[in-house]
Amino acid sequence: MHNKTLTRADIEALEKMQRTRLINCLSGYKSANLIGTRDEQGNENVSVVSSVIHMGSNPPLLGFIVRPRKVERHTLDNILSTGSFTINAIALDFAQQAHQTSARYPKEVSEFNAAGLTPHYEDNISAPFVLESPLKMALELREHIIINSNDTEMVIGEVVHVSLPEQAIMPDGYVDLEALDLVTISGLDSYHVTQRVHRLSYAKPNKALFPLTKEGEPSSWRVLAPD
Amino acid sequence: MHNKTLTRADIEALEKMQRTRLINCLSGYKSANLIGTRDEQGNENVSVVSSVIHMGSNPPLLGFIVRPRKVERHTLDNILSTGSFTINAIALDFAQQAHQTSARYPKEVSEFNAAGLTPHYEDNISAPFVLESPLKMALELREHIIINSNDTEMVIGEVVHVSLPEQAIMPDGYVDLEALDLVTISGLDSYHVTQRVHRLSYAKPNKALFPLTKEGEPSSWRVLAPD
């Protein structure tokens, strides 16, 4: 295959939307989540976000990036004023509804209604969950960081509630995201399903890796293979 | 399916590695990249990282999280002292070698040698690329952020060089990551390939979404479908 090399000048010279689409693909596959919030008047907001990342396990922290754009400020404003938000994993059967929440609705319009998603509440948690999601989390705001390089902002929250089908939790703690039919995003608009190749054993110097089943056991095809 | 709900107390009560595995799955699918660096003495380092995210397109910025752990400090130290690093997407055919770089090697050992990967250099870029990767980027350090909530750190760099097969770049700028056989990671150790469901049109209020081909054209199955 013929290789293409882009220098900084080549990237700058790209047409604006072409550059945006290309750069948005470079990080690789992205998580697909809906963030649910509510303002102090009770107006609900839900927004598709592809930048949620793991920040740490103890305490359990997740973070995401807020772009300096109008439509997404509702989410940030609500989190800063209430301290509460939900993260709801996107499954294949409502990925189109989830994508529709990226349209720029006025603040008084609930994206739940506009996109055909169902708000769901749990005791002691003020932000709305997305009922359709098989993996729902509630978070409390822990940190808000301004990124000076491009005026984006990072929100970090602590997970205080997790709800998911019990069968998806493997004995060693691993969660089988494929059992939940979760999708992954590439670029701005491409949705993908996945197929597990294998889990891999914990890497140590001078020790060969071996494949694991989704339950975290040494893979049987390896046990059966000749030495 | 029976649902399991975990409160903050339930999460705290989990056995340490079980909690780490579970929390690492909650954000969803993660990007799979190798970060290449070199110290001022020329010692090479390469490390698998699943936290690379898109930070912005103009300027083109990517960021990633560095855990407060010994092995990964080599990467951070090298970036802070040289200002240069590479991000190399992980494809299926060298995912095991990539995973092996997560073993805790001493600083004088090159993970390239230990894991069986090939360092590759380009003019005017001091950090090593991973020759095996089909999508190679060089970045210049732009920002270094300490995250107070858990003493992790975030590194943000500007993309100054991109190399990939020309056929993977669609006319509208979208990059077909599946054509490159890139993998995605869930949890600490699970590797997955993907299958595109569709791209989706730009969402607007009061306008129905429609599926797009990977080239960004309206999908023909929809054109052929009855109204």
Give the model confidence (pLDDT) of A128-156 as tens digits: 999 999 999 999 999 999 999 999 999 99
- Given a contact cutoff of 8 angstroms between Cβ atoms, the answer to whether A121 and A130 are in contact is no
User: How would you class A214 by CB atoms within 10 Å of its CB: exposed for 0-12, middle for 13-18, buried for 19 or more?
Assistant: buried
B130 closest CA partner among B81, B84, B97: B97
> Which chain A residues contact residue B51 at CB under 8 A?
53-54
Q: Chain B neighbours among A 114-153 (CB < 8 Å)?
A: 114, 135, 137, 142-143, 145, 147-150, 152
The CATH number of B20-195, from 2.30.110.10, 2.60.40.1080, 3.40.50.460, 3.30.930.10, is 2.30.110.10
- In chain A, residues under CATH classification 2.30.110.10 are 8-195
DSSP letter (8 states) at residue A220: H
- Given a contact cutoff of 8 angstroms between Cβ atoms, the answer to whether B163 and B120 are in contact is no
Cβ of A4 within 8 Å of Cβ of B163? The answer is yes
Ordered DSSP codes for B57-104: ETTEEEEEEE-S-HHHHHHHHHHHHHSEEEEEEPBGGGHHHHHHTTS-
Residue A225 has pLDDT above 50, yes or no: no
Interface check B102 vs A, CB under 8 A: yes
pLDDT tens for A89-118 read 999 999 999 999 999 888 888 999 999 999
Cα–Cα dist A199/A181, whole Å: 18
- Given a contact cutoff of 8 angstroms between Cβ atoms, the answer to whether B90 and B33 are in contact is yes
What angle (nearest 5°) sits at the alpha carbon of residue A63, between those of residues B5 and B53? 125
Q: Chain B neighbours among A 151-210 (CB < 8 Å)?
A: 152, 154, 156, 158-167, 169, 172-175, 177-178, 182-184, 186-205, 207, 209
- What pLDDT, on the 0 to 100 scale, is given for residue A107? 80
Q: What is the mean pLDDT of the segment spanning B73-85?
A: 94
Residue B222 has pLDDT above 80, yes or no: no
- What pLDDT, on the 0 to 100 scale, is given for residue B15? 97
Q: Given pLDDT bands bounded at 50, 70 and 90, which one contains residue A221?
A: low
Average pLDDT in chain A: 93
- What pLDDT, on the 0 to 100 scale, is given for residue B17? 96
Span A8-195 CATH architecture = Roll (2.30)
- Between these two residues, A73 and A7, which has the higher pLDDT value? A7
- In chain B, residues under CATH classification 2.30.110.10 are 20-195
A125 closest CA partner among A91, A162, A100: A162
> Which chain B residues contact residue A92 at CB under 8 A?
197
Residue B69 has pLDDT above 90, yes or no: no
> Which chain B residues contact residue A7 at CB under 8 A?
160-161
- Given a contact cutoff of 8 angstroms between Cβ atoms, the answer to whether B116 and B97 are in contact is yes
Average pLDDT in chain B: 93
DSSP letter (8 states) at residue A136: E
